[in-house]
């Protein structure tokens, strides 16, 4: 294999065997959803049905916990491989190592702290920790944090690549398919589809690297065909810019998907062990996607960055395995998109809806559909740029919500309801102003996430002074 093409006619490169393998895996995924839904107990009360719908009745076992957590976390595969295609191992640092630190912190310092609250969602937990106003405000943060914009874009890019439709139409097609099964069975359906998708996505990225080494060789080949910056941890970026991703990674500590899986686990022990096992799987997965993007950059440097990994993978693999790899990429996207659609719908139906409509499965259905439509709209606003989606939403989550929650864990019962709200809103204002104001000189390189975290912390520290002055007046 001496040369690869920078672009492909995807309808012709796939053989009949590839399509048979691809369709078979999609069918197996659909069957797993149906089978998982059939396990729902009949004759359950409305409250039991709601708990089962939202957190699987708190009966998530260790194997299912690992499968659904790992699968949920990698829907932005085209975003990750684009970064490795353009920046090399910078991707492994910013999209890998920083996040592993956050996962381990969550496992050892948060799992046990939240278990006794018996919460159903992250806003529910925050409401119990700080007060009802904090719960409502965090519900709004939570909603925007779990809007699956990046994963709608990823699925749209994939469908667009094969059909030639516009990105907008492709995103509508993809979201419509995922809505059908994520609405139908609740978290149970999401988990059982994730189980199949977990095995397929992990095997697919490993196969790409195995055949890459077989055809081209190992690190010596990459070093000979890539610029030196691809082997720099900062990828040519400044330290301040690189560390922004570290703070975004810490937003895992307020990530609703992590909390939902922990709430659904059979015990805190299962959740803790599951996160640690998942972290080991993520290390292997990230090594494969980083190397895959780098092999693509070394062999087809003129390819479109968003599609480079897909174009490369489908050329380096033989018949049959191309269909498997395609199914793996689809599984990677779907497993995250369905979880985020479901969770954002839950935020509307359980955390934000009026009392008359709250706790109803029908409200969950409507909320999930609205989330799908809104995600497509915002995907067009971000012009299909996955990295910008992560950077924007992650900055607000990390700078405005992260620190108050961490302070709440460190100093339980010390932060009051209004104090939490005041600090979060101050962080939002600071982040937004800093993001949009004109800056020059030294201040150009100061990211909005730093401004947001500073003012959020000041809000917590200064609120008692403001309250005393207000009482005097």
Q: Is 249 part of a structural domain of the chain?
A: yes
Residue pair 63/258 in contact (Cβ under 8 Å)? The answer is no
SS3 letters across 106-130:
HHHHCHHHHHCCCCCCHHHHHHHHH
Question: What's residue 120's pLDDT?
Answer: 83
Which distant-in-sequence residues (6+ apart) come within 8 Å of 110 by Cβ? 253, 409
Question: What's residue 7's pLDDT?
Answer: 72
Report the C-alpha gap between 252 and 100 in whole angstroms: 10
Longest dimension (CA), the chain: 79
Query: In the numeric block, which tokens belong to residue 325?
Result: 């790899």
Distance of CA 185 to the CA centre of its chain: 21
Report the C-alpha gap between 157 and 167 in whole angstroms: 6
Three-class SS state of 265: strand
CB-facing half-sphere around the CA of 448: CA atoms within 13 A: 20
CB-facing half-sphere around the CA of 17: CA atoms within 13 A: 6
Residue pair 193/331 in contact (Cβ under 8 Å)? The answer is no
Residue range of the domain that includes 122: 10-384
Q: Is 29 part of a structural domain of the chain?
A: yes
Sign of CA dihedral 301, 304, 310, 316: negative
Q: Is 390 part of a structural domain of the chain?
A: no
Q: Is 396 part of a structural domain of the chain?
A: no
Report the C-alpha gap between 182 and 341 in whole angstroms: 7
Report the C-alpha gap between 40 and 165 in whole angstroms: 38
> How many distinct structural domains can be found in the chain?
1
Low-confidence ranges of the chain (pLDDT < 70): 1-2, 10-11, 36-51, 53, 75-76, 181-186, 359-361, 384-387, 390-391, 441-442, 445, 469-473
Residue pair 155/171 in contact (Cβ under 8 Å)? The answer is yes
Q: Is 425 part of a structural domain of the chain?
A: no
CATH of residue 293's domain is: 1.20.1730.10
Q: Is 130 part of a structural domain of the chain?
A: yes
Q: Is 466 part of a structural domain of the chain?
A: no
Alpha-helix runs per DSSP H in 121-166: 122-130, 132-145, 149-163
Q: Is 239 part of a structural domain of the chain?
A: yes
Helix (H) or strand (E) holding 328: helix 321-346
Which distant-in-sequence residues (6+ apart) come within 8 Å of 234 by Cβ? 90, 93, 242
Residue pair 337/176 in contact (Cβ under 8 Å)? The answer is no
Residue pair 403/456 in contact (Cβ under 8 Å)? The answer is yes
Question: What's residue 43's pLDDT?
Answer: 47
Alpha-helix runs per DSSP H in 217-320: 219-225, 239-250, 256-264, 268-299, 308-316
Report the C-alpha gap between 336 and 286 in whole angstroms: 16
String of DSSP letters for 43-63: T--HHHHHHHHHHGGG-B-HH
Report the C-alpha gap between 48 and 291 in whole angstroms: 46
Query: In the numeric block, which tokens belong to residue 342?
Result: 């479901």
Report the C-alpha gap between 361 and 358 in whole angstroms: 9
Report the C-alpha gap between 422 and 456 in whole angstroms: 8
Residue pair 79/206 in contact (Cβ under 8 Å)? The answer is no
């Amino acid at each position: 294999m001496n040369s690869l093409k920078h672009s492909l006619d995807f309808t012709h490169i796939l053989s009949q065997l590839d399509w048979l393998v691809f369709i078979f895996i999609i069918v197996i995924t659909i069957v797993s959803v149906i089978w998982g839904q059939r396990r729902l107990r009949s004759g359950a009360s409305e409250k039991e049905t709601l708990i089962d719908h939202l957190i699987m009745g708190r009966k998530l076992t260790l194997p299912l916990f690992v499968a659904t957590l790992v699968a949920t976390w990698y829907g932005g595969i085209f975003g990750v491989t684009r970064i490795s295609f353009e920046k090399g191992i910078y991707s492994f640092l910013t999209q890998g190592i920083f996040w592993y630190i956050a996962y381990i912190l969550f496992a050892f310092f948060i799992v046990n702290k939240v278990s006794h609250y018996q919460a159903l969602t992250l806003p529910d937990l925050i409401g119990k920790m700080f007060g009802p106003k904090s719960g409502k405000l965090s519900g709004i943060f939570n909603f925007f944090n779990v809007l699956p914009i990046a994963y709608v874009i990823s699925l749209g890019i994939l469908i667009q690549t094969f059909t030639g439709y516009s990105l907008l139409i492709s995103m509508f097609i993809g979201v419509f398919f995922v809505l059908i099964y994520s609405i139908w069975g609740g978290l149970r359906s999401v988990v059982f589809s994730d189980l199949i998708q977990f095995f397929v996505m992990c095997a697919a990225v490993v196969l790409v690297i195995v055949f890459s080494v077989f055809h081209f060789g190992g690190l010596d080949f990459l070093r000979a065909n890539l610029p030196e910056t691809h082997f720099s941890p900062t990828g040519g970026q400044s330290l301040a810019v690189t560390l922004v991703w570290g703070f975004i990674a810490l937003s895992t500590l307020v990530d609703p998907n992590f909390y939902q899986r922990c709430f659904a686990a059979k015990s805190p022990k299962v959740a803790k062990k599951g996160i640690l096992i998942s972290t080991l799987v993520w290390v292997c997965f990230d090594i494969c996607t980083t190397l895959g993007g780098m092999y693509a950059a070394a062999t087809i440097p003129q390819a479109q960055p968003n599609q480079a990994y897909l174009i490369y993978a489908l050329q380096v693999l033989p018949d049959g395995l191309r269909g498997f790899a395609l199914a793996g990429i689809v599984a990677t996207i779907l497993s995250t998109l369905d979880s985020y659609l479901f969770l954002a719908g839950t935020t509307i139906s359980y955390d934000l809806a009026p009392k008359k409509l709250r706790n109803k499965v029908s409200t969950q259905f409507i909320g999930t559909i609205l989330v799908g439509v809104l995600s497509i709209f915002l995907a067009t606003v971000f012009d299909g740029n996955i990295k910008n989606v992560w950077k924007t939403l992650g900055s607000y989550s990390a700078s405005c919500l992260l620190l108050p929650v961490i302070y709440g864990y460190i100093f339980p019962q010390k932060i009051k309801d209004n104090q939490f709200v005041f600090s979060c809103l101050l962080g939002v204002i600071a982040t937004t102003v800093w993001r949009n104001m004109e800056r020059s000189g030294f201040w150009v390189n100061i990211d909005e996430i730093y401004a947001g975290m500073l003012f959020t912390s000041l809000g917590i520290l200064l609120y008692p002074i403001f309250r005393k002055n207000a009482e005097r007046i």
